[in-house]
Structures are given as structure tokens and as C-alpha cells.
Structure 1
Amino acid sequence: MPEPEAALRTPQGVPYADLKHFVNADGQHLFSRYWEPDGPPRALVFVAHGAGEHSGLYGEIGQTLKEQSLFVFAHDHVGHGQSEGDRMNIKDFQVFVRDSLQHIDLMKGRHPDLPVFIIGHSMGGAISILTACERPNDFAGVVLIAPMVRMNPESATPFKVFLAKLANQIAPSLSLGSIKSKWISRDQKQVEAYDADELNHHGGMRVSFATQLLTATEQIERQLPAITWPFLVLHGNADKLCDITGSQMMFELAPSKDKKLKVYDGAYHALHHELPETAGSVLKELTGWISERLPAPPSQSS
């Protein structure tokens, strides 16, 4: 018999009944966060976090946009943070997309007349791209921070891809090693905070999960020539975790008439947690870009 909801707890032992959450199509509880403005919101903004991390790392973005009268919301993906699921293991990458659309639909149900934006970082960038591709007319814009558009060319040669798929058939639970936190940011304080955060996954990535990421990037590459929705891509040219050539390829191949690529010289992967000057620029860039695409506020009658 399934456990009653009152007894269900996060991986950290907190009852879901005490936390904001929603239940996905597989019956899994996904921990959720909301940054709701004090007055009427002008738009909805969904934030998709990256592999091995959690939605709590986007508090500064959420708070900043909230102060611009935007209603920001996010959840910990299955197998991440305070959500249910085997840690960083998933049967199909599409589950991330499906859950994102479910959360977006829940919020649109409460605010049906508001435009919807998506912000995605790293793996969350891949989720964001595939989510917007599934419903190309539903989103006012997509902001991608160091998105996973393609696998690192050095690790995704045809032979290595063949070996990865073969390993997935033979030993899907085999660990490929953990994410190297030193490549997250040039700001040592941010690296130390990442390492100390118990909600981040500090263990190894399984072959099965890596294969799902590979499948997602292959799907994105097929979709690029059909992307017409507005997007902003921010990427550091010293990023060793998500290759910048993927962002450049997306910018070149997507026929969208409203697209922008901004490259941060020398910056690492988590641009929003980079050195203060870079992180501040990223926050200003994404806030300004979204603000420019908002409907005009209703005129105040005297």
C-alpha cells in the first residue's frame, strides 16, 4: 500500500505536508519554492535548476524579479534537493520536462492572463529548451544561463558516445565521477558554499543519467532549426561543465527573430554565482531582458 501523504517525508526527513510541494504524474512529491510580489504580478517566471543542485540556489534571482512585480516559482527536480526520487537518476529525461509543464500549468491556472517566462541553468537550460519546444507559442521568452545544449566535444566523440550507450546496457549504475565543484565559479566563497550545501548531490553521476543527458542534447540539436520563440543566452567562455559551442550553435541555427547571446570573458559555469561583477551583470542582463518583454502596466487613472 502507498504511504499516506502525511507520512511522506523528504530525503532530509521533513514531512511533505509541512512544505510547499506538488505531486507529479508518477505520484512523487516535488518540493517547490515561490517568490510572490506584494502587489499584482505582471508575469510568471519558472526557474529550472541544474544537475545535482536545487531550487534554493536561485533565491537572489527570485527576490530580484519579485521586486520587479514578477511571480517567480521553481521546484527541485525528481531525484534532487528536497524532492522524491532516486538521487540524480531518472528513467527518461522527458520526466523533467513533463514536471516543469505541470508546475507551469498549475501557476497559469491561478494567473491565466499573465505571460510566462522560463529561466534555466545548465541541465535546467536543456529542460527549458525542450519545455518551450513542446509548447512554442506559450512562452514570452526563455533565459538560458550556461545551458547544456551539447555535450563537451572531447567527451562526446562518436566512439565515446557508443561506449557510453554500451555501458548503459551493461552497467547503468556505474559511476562516472562527481561534478568538479572548482569549475562552478571563480569565486572561492561560492565554491565552498556549494561544497557545504547538503541539498546538493556530491556523489558520482551514473552512466544511466549521463546517457539521459546525452539523449536530451541530441533531441535539442534536432529542435534548433524550429526554434522561433525569444531567447537570451548567457555563457562564460571558460566554462568547463557545459560547452559554450552549444550556446553558439543554438544562436546561429535557431531562426528566432528575437535572440541574443552574451559571452562573459573568463567566466566559469554558474554565472549567477560568479565573481560579484559578473554575477551582478548577469542579474541586470536577465532582469532587463525580461522587463523589455513585459506588457505595459495598466495606466493609473487620476
Structure 2
Amino acid sequence: MCATSCCCFKKAQKGEDRMTPQGLFYKDLPHFINADGNYLFCRYWEPPTPPRALVMIVHSAGEHSGRYSEVVSLLLKHSLYVFAHDHVGHGQSEGEGMMVSHFGIYVRDTLQHIDMMKRSHPHLRIYLFSTSMGGLISLYVANERQNDIAGMIFIAPLVLMNPESATFTKMFCARLLKNFLPQVALGYMDPRSVSRDEEKVIDYIRDPLNYHGPVRVRFATEVLHALIKLEKILPTISTPMLILHGDADKLSDVRGSYIMYGKVASLDKTLKVYEHAAHQLHRELPSVTEEVFKVIDGWLEERLPPIEQ
């Protein structure tokens, strides 16, 4: 556990009785308190050797920061200090399940966590690793803190909804209902859209920290608004980036990654598309995931500062 989370415990002394949705006391867990007073659960993975840089994992909608163990193992091999938190309304953080009054709250909380880590490790560069909606959050973060982010790795970034998916139809309906029925359920995400690996799908379904409830109008509307505004943001981003996407993704349309690659101002940018692959490339068929990790491994090694002797 890093000194950052300990500082948060001191701030939280008056709320020592606050508990996670799973019934655990936050005083016993790494966490921070966001601007709205919500307690957000954190995870920290410190390498055994002096860290070369910091990497923040920005998870996607409906899941949580604990679903990246394989990614964390890869990052630790590069002597990277990895950190993450569960977004408000996700995992072990406070908040109504997958509901937010404004998409900017996700961005604000992410920036707060980054600032905390910067204060604790001012000499280390910061990288972002994100998937799906986490990629959308990361793009907004990069737009606000261009100089703070040394590089970004995206898996299936949410830049464009797949118009052939049921999710797209639900999002469109949300725009019509947002002012009248913000709590109305639009339906459920199909877990089989995350991977072609049956074991990974079952694991997703059985994970009690994942959100298994319906997508509601308010949440869908906020995501749509963020996607619409993205068009003006992409040309402002010049951060080095690696974009990985499966062309059979039924959630984040792969065409969004092509659009993103073409519009960002980054001179150092790479896009790699995997045929027939589904949404979560880091939890796809073993052959795909192995290749994805090799690409990430090489990309990092070419850009990270040398290991301290």
C-alpha cells in the first residue's frame, strides 16, 4: 500500500464506519474520497525493484479494477508501479450501480488519483492503460493533462458505438427518454460479447464485483454526450499511444479506433486490429491474448526510461 492511500485514511477518520457495498470497512482498505464525498476503493501493485514509471489502469463500465491480474503481471515485469481504483458506482466503491450524474465525474476522479500519485512519486512518468469506456475516460484525461501523461495503451477504446448492436439502439432510445425517465432500464449487456473464450465469459458472469444490472437511461445518455464531444477533443491529443482492437467487437466499434488514430495529433501512434477478436483482447482466446501482450511488451520497452542499477 502506498503512502497516498494512508493519507486518505487520515482524512476519513470521521467516516470510519463507512463500508463498501460488500460490507467491508473502508478504514481497512486503500481508498480515497472524491469531491462528492464518495469513498473509492483503490488497488496498488508495487514492483520488487525501483519503479521505472507509474501506470494507471482505467477500467471499463460494469467491471472493476481487480479484473486485470494478467495485465498487472506484465506491467510489473517492466518494473512499473501500477495503480487503479473502482469508478464510482462500480466494484467496491460507493455510488449507485453504474449510474452517474455527469460523465465528467469519472474524469475528475481519475485526475484526482493521478494527482495523488504525482505528489507521492514526482519523479516518475505516468502511463495509462485502459479498456472500452476506460479509454473514453483516458482521452478526456489526456486532453486536460497533456504534459502529465507519457503514453497511453488502449484496448477497444469506446470512441464509436457499434450501430449493429442492441446496445447502440438502447443508447439512442436513452436520448429520447433522458428528461422523462432517467432511471428506466434499457436492457442488459450480453456477457458473451466480452470474449470468445468460454471460460472468460463464465468468469465474467460469476464475478460478484461486476455490475450485472441493467443499463439505465441516465448512464447511457452521459456516455453518448461524452462520445459526441470527443470529436473536438481528439485533435488536441498528442500523447504517444498504442491502440489495440478486435474487428468483431460488438460493443466498441472498431471503426472508432480508426477514427481516433486518424484524428489525434500524436506523432507516435500505433493501431493494431485483430481479426475475428471480441471486445476484451486481454481476456480473449489464448493465442490472441498472447500476441496482444507481446505487442504491449515491445511498445513499453521501447519507450520506458532505463532500469535503475
**TM tier, shorter chain?**
over 0.9
CA contact (8 A) 1:150 1:221 kept: no
CA contact (8 A) 2:165 2:251 kept: no
Output aligned runs, 1:90-239, within 5 Å.
Answer: 90-154=100-164, 163-239=173-249
**1:68 and 2:78 equivalent?**
yes
Runs in 1 of length 4+ with deviation above 3 angstroms?
153-156, 158-163
Aligned residue for 2:286? 276
TM-score (norm: length of structure 1)? 0.94
**1:10 and 2:27 equivalent?**
no
Letter in 1 for 2:189: I
Letter in 2 for 1:205: V
Report the CA distance between 1:25 and its aligned residue.
1.0
Q: Give the number of equivalent residue pairs.
A: 297
Report the CA distance between 1:160 and its aligned residue.
8.2
CA distance in 1, matches of 2:220, 2:305: 40
CA distance in 1, matches of 2:38, 2:73: 27
CA contact (8 A) 1:35 1:63 kept: no
CA distance in 2, matches of 1:3, 1:207: 36
Q: Secondary structure at the match of 2:43?
A: strand
State the superposition RMSD in angstroms.
1.9
**1:56 and 2:66 equivalent?**
yes
CA contact (8 A) 2:132 2:156 kept: yes
Q: Secondary structure at the match of 2:16?
A: helix
CA distance in 2, matches of 1:186, 1:98: 34
Report the CA distance between 1:164 and its aligned residue.
2.6
TM-score (norm: length of structure 2)? 0.92
Unaligned runs of 5+ in 1: none
C-alpha spacing 1:248/1:196, structure 2 compared with 1 (3 Å) = same
Q: Secondary structure at the match of 1:169?
A: coil
Aligned residue for 2:8? none
CA distance in 1, matches of 2:250, 2:307: 41
CA distance in 2, matches of 1:96, 1:171: 22
Q: Deviations over 1:172-195 (max 9, x none)?
A: 111111110011100000000000
Report the CA distance between 1:54 and its aligned residue.
0.3
CA distance in 2, matches of 1:194, 1:4: 36
Q: Deviations over 1:23-75 (max 9, x none)?
A: 11111111111110112100000000000000000111112211211000000
Letter in 2 for 1:100: T
Report the CA distance between 1:200 and its aligned residue.
0.4
**1:287 and 2:297 equivalent?**
yes
Q: Deviations over 1:260-301 (max 9, x none)?
A: 100011100011000011111222222221221112334x4x
**1:266 and 2:276 equivalent?**
yes
Give me the identity figure in percent.
52
